[in-house]
Structure 1
Amino acid sequence: MFGRRSFTAAVVAAALLLVSTPAAAAAPTAVWSAPGLSSASFSVDGALVVLTGNTSAGGRLEIRGAGSGALVRALSSPYKFNAAALSADKQTVAVTLNDTSSGLPVRTIRLYRVSDGALLRAVPTAATRDLSSLDLSADGRLVAAMDARSYEQGGRVHVHRVADGGRVALLTTDATTAAVRFSPDGRFLAANGRRVVGGRFVSVVRVFRTADWAAVTTAGDGSLLVRWSPDSTAIWTATLVVAAPTTAHLVAVPGGTALRTVTLAPYDTVSDVTDDGARMLTGRVVAPRRTLTFSDTSTGTPAATYDFASDVFAGDISPDGTLFTYALTTAPSAFDVHVARMPGR
């Protein structure tokens, strides 16, 4: 879900002058864990968590109660899951996978009913690369999946109707990192993109109007999409530059005006921001990836930092700001997902 770059001690020392020393904690307060899974995200209302993981046997998806970890639904497939998303009404879960039953990989969106796990629809797409980001519109009528550009193919957003699988839009953004999100009010769709600046490619975030799929905003050179604000008036983006502090930006939609900028340490990667915009969850984009940090978005000052004995990957924050998820490495290419209490809440 990051690239890897080298950096020097001098760069880190300079960056530490920008922020205060964080409050240290040995480990977050765990609520429950899901062994063998690698990613987790909260439902729109925060009541459920959708988890996925892959092994040589295929993909597994679990839906659990956010507070208790109680299993609500489990799905498995001989094909690995590349992304998953739960509808706002919690009735439908979507996954992406590479269906090879025909002998060739067909990048497919599958839609399942949560109540009984029944397959509602399989939607083959025109994707030429793995669909590694996925989202459902707030009204549950549309599903959008994105493949990252690689070897001159991919970098497109595939938008389909949930009701019949018909394609609604095919948006070319040329992004080499996939991320796609509908706005909470359904009027916009944001996705990672790429453009040429001064003869070189740089990442940007593009926002499309869902009424006609016209591009209405292009956010900052070097930016990657993090999330929407709850009122659909802005997006959070993150800019990672080699040997320079990471910056996070709250960008107005439409318009593209930067409403807030948060300066973080070099090679920090922004995973999520609380709904109230007060706290930001970050991990590390380079090894050793063994810390998670919550920072104050008004100052960039770390409020709490957690240290781990193995590589850790930041996840999602619950809408009410009381829980967060992370994946902890247990062996090469093996993880456990943990749900923990937010610091100070």
Structure 2
Amino acid sequence: MTIRRRLMPLLVAAAVALTGQAAPAVAATPAEAWTAPGQSWALFSDDGTLVLSAGNTSAGGRVELRQASTGAVVRTLTSPLKVNAVALSADNQTIAVTVNDTSSGLPVRTIRLYRASTGALLRSIPTSAGRELDGLHFAPDGRTIAAMDARSYERGGQVHVHRVSDGVRVRLLSVPATTAGVRFSPDGRYLAANDRVVTGGRAVPAVRVFRTDTWASTLTLADGDLLIRWTPDSTGLWTKRILPGVPTGLRLVSVPSGAVQRSLDLDLYDGVSDVTDDGALALTNRLVAPRRTLTFTSTLTGADVATYDFGQDVFPGDVSPDGSLFTYARTTAPSAFDVHVAHSPGH
């Protein structure tokens, strides 16, 4: 099923005229639940009860674990080193961060594991990454963790899979993407990562899926796709199609067959940060300035369900598993942000 959002305003207007219902209004800002000042990005725990956020200043990195419903701080981690990525294990017991450790004189891209209940450092795992580890994700059983560095100036472009218990490297996967993105499927059978392939003489974004039992590549989506997320049942993968001069495409692809289950064309220079667990709504934004709107778009009809306007640049984040909350970062000054957790449309 393919839907074009550019046609939907006419269809929505017609539906409103027939039913007498009001069209979705543009709101000043979403209904806010709480704010994390000085934080730059945030994600929900797998069970939706916690939010893990991170931010960097000239003094170093700061990671906060908070209650999703109230914003109450559960744990704070600070580091003199910049934090590049964060992750939380499925059981909410372990926090992972990536940093560039310069204690030896040369930068070593390192995964650090902390006990969430106490903040104690459990393990420091050095990797062979050639660039910053900007992608990070725990396997659902918590036994392994995958970190990815994006390819830049002929360096990086690998997924580093390490064992959590002792830090031993399990696998090194070559995926020369220029944007780091890596996620295990909820059942642990697959690992998806951003990739890059050459099509028609030019390099374009792609997504590759690996089996975790053999680490063999089982699926490649090679037409400008980038990773968004897995479906909760691990049978599908949401991707966004980003190509120069082409409207952004949102797709739900079956794994491992590669069959397209749902396809939606957004507008030129739109981005997608997340899709709800039920697959009904996508959190979208503008990729070019001014980046001052966030939109929830129906993946079924292409209609914009809610659009929020801001006075500063905003960057969308994560949607909670039950779809009731979402995160975004709002610019407060050059290179400074606050994380906001807000109520989704209808909640």
TM-score (norm 2): 0.94
Q: Is the 8 A contact 2:204 2:222 kept in 1?
A: no
Looking at structure 2, the residues matched to 58 and 185 of structure 1 have their Cα atoms a distance apart, in angstroms, of 35
Q: Let me know the Cα RMSD of the aligned residues.
A: 1.1
Matched, 1:19 2:8: yes
* Counterpart in the other structure of 1:94: 96
Q: Is the 8 A contact 1:40 1:325 kept in 2?
A: yes
* Counterpart in the other structure of 2:41: 39
Misfit runs of 4+, over 2 Å:
15-19, 241-244
Q: Deviations over 1:15-69 (max 9, x none)?
A: 9843328531111000000000000000000000000000011000000000000
> Residue type matched to 1:19 in 2?
M
For 1:185, what is the secondary structure of its paired residue?
A: coil
Q: Is the 8 A contact 1:133 1:180 kept in 2?
A: yes
> Residue type matched to 1:133 in 2?
G
Looking at structure 1, the residues matched to 8 and 111 of structure 2 have their Cα atoms a distance apart, in angstroms, of 43
> Residue type matched to 1:24 in 2?
V
* Counterpart in the other structure of 1:333: 335
* Counterpart in the other structure of 1:310: 312
* Counterpart in the other structure of 2:65: 63
> Residue type matched to 2:241 in 1?
T
* Counterpart in the other structure of 1:105: 107
- Report the alpha carbon displacement of residue 122 of structure 1 after superposing the two structures with TM: 0.2
Q: Deviations over 1:244-268 (max 9, x none)?
A: 3211000111011111001111111
Structure 2 residue ranges without an equivalent (≥5) = 13-23
Q: Is the 8 A contact 1:279 1:297 kept in 2?
A: yes
Q: Is the 8 A contact 1:43 1:50 kept in 2?
A: yes
Matched, 1:128 2:130: yes
TM-score (norm 1): 0.94
Task: Percent identity, please.
Answer: 65
Looking at structure 2, the residues matched to 244 and 204 of structure 1 have their Cα atoms a distance apart, in angstroms, of 15
Matched, 1:278 2:280: yes
User: Which residue, out of 228, 231, 234, partners 1:229?
Assistant: 231
Looking at structure 2, the residues matched to 184 and 297 of structure 1 have their Cα atoms a distance apart, in angstroms, of 21
Looking at structure 2, the residues matched to 231 and 327 of structure 1 have their Cα atoms a distance apart, in angstroms, of 29
Q: Deviations over 1:279-305 (max 9, x none)?
A: 000111111000000000012111100
Looking at structure 1, the residues matched to 338 and 201 of structure 2 have their Cα atoms a distance apart, in angstroms, of 43
Looking at structure 1, the residues matched to 55 and 161 of structure 2 have their Cα atoms a distance apart, in angstroms, of 24
* Counterpart in the other structure of 1:208: 210
> Residue type matched to 1:106 in 2?
V
* Counterpart in the other structure of 1:118: 120
